[in-house]
């Protein structure tokens, strides 16, 4: 089976400074997801990258050998260089690299650049969340029940300042009444983008079997391996006209 090359990028600061986060994700959220993939998706070839790595861990070589880039960032979005953001967007638009924004990556620079809005949302205290599968026929919803529960998760609510998603796969209900579009797909250039809301650093979303399944499904969906048409050729129409 052909390997899918996944790079998991994590800000990786909370895990070093906050005891509660360290207890849940001792080697970082990115390493935790990698460990899950080793069990759930052995055909994934995973590279880890973080903010404090040289070039944020995303050298040209790493980006060129990434089928799907996953992103978790929270407090230090502004430390990601704009030049790198442009390179990431270019990989998505022209080469079909998949991009998966997790949780607070809704205001990460790459997500904002790729989808085209600021990604702002309503925010509230941690509470019970039900995630509803509103598009069961979508590949990312494969194996996911009608709904599942996260006992405690940070509340993200509408209005969520994103373009209308091309496909809305999950919606969430929060105990205090808020609703949220928690699983959104966007097509940008040749690339596929998925935003998924769970994943607060002091909660156990990444331990949940359905969250794990959704991330595996999302990587498979976003992988560019079946794109036959590569970068559009600007001289194409001229050739046709001749
Ligand atoms: Zn959070």
User: In the chain, what are the domains?
Assistant: 4-116+182-239 (3.40.50.880)
Which class for 100: exposed (0-12), middle (13-18), buried (19 or more C-beta within 10 A)?
A: buried
| Residue 93, pLDDT score | 95
Query: Which three-class secondary structure state does DSSP give residue 25?
Result: coil
User: Of 63, 53, 46, whose CA–CA distance to 5 is shortest?
Assistant: 46
CA–centroid distance, residue 122 to ligand 1 (Å): 12
CA–centroid distance, residue 189 to ligand 1 (Å): 29
Per DSSP (E only), the strands in the chain are: 4-10, 44-50, 68-72, 98-102, 122-133, 147-157, 167-174, 179-188, 191-196
User: What is the value of pTM for the model shown?
Assistant: 0.95
| Residue 238, pLDDT score | 62
| Residue 198, pLDDT score | 98
Q: Which two tokens stand for residue 88?
A: 């990431």
Element (H, E) at 117: none
Q: What is the pLDDT of residues 164-197, one digit of tens each?
A: 999 999 999 999 999 999 999 999 999 999 999 9
86 confidence band (pLDDT: 50, 70, 90): very high
CA–centroid distance, residue 103 to ligand 1 (Å): 7
Average pLDDT over residues 150-169: 98
User: Residue 56, by phi and psi: left (phi above 0), alpha (psi -120 to 50) or beta?
Assistant: left
CA–centroid distance, residue 154 to ligand 1 (Å): 6
| Residue 231, pLDDT score | 65
CA–centroid distance, residue 227 to ligand 1 (Å): 34
| Residue 227, pLDDT score | 74
Statement: residue 146 has pLDDT above 90: yes
CA–centroid distance, residue 231 to ligand 1 (Å): 36
| Residues in a beta bridge with 48 | 8
| Residue 242, pLDDT score | 59
Q: What is the pLDDT of residues 201-214, one digit of tens each?
A: 999 999 999 999 99
CA–centroid distance, residue 238 to ligand 1 (Å): 50
Average pLDDT over residues 135-152: 98
Query: Which three-class secondary structure state does DSSP give residue 183?
Result: strand
Which class for 239: exposed (0-12), middle (13-18), buried (19 or more C-beta within 10 A)?
A: exposed
């Amino acid at each position: 089976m052909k390997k899918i090359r996944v790079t998991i990028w994590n800000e990786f600061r909370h895990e070093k400074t906050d005891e509660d986060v360290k207890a849940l994700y001792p080697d970082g959220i990115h390493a935790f997801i990698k460990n899950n993939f080793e069990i759930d998706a052995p055909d994934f070839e995973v590279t880890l990258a973080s903010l404090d790595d040289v070039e944020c861990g995303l050298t040209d070589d790493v980006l060129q050998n990434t089928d799907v880039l996953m992103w978790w960032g929270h407090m230090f979005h502004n430390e990601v260089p704009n030049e790198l953001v442009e390179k990431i967007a270019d990989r998505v638009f022209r080469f079909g690299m998949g991009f998966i924004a997790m949780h607070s990556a809704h205001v990460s620079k790459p997500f904002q650049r790729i989808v085209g809005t600021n990604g702002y949302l309503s925010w509230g205290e941690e509470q019970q969340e039900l995630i509803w599968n509103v598009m069961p026929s979508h590949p990312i919803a494969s194996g996911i029940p009608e709904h599942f529960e996260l006992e405690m998760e940070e509340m993200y609510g509408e209005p969520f300042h994103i373009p209308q998603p091309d496909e809305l796969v999950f919606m969430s209900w929060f105990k205090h009444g808020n609703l949220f579009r928690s699983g959104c797909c966007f097509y940008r250039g040749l690339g596929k983008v998925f935003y998924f809301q769970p994943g607060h650093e002091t909660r156990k979303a990444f331990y949940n079997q359905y969250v794990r399944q959704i991330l595996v499904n999302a990587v498979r969906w976003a992988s560019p391996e079946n794109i036959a048409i590569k970068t559009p050729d600007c001289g194409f129409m001229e050739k046709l006209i001749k």
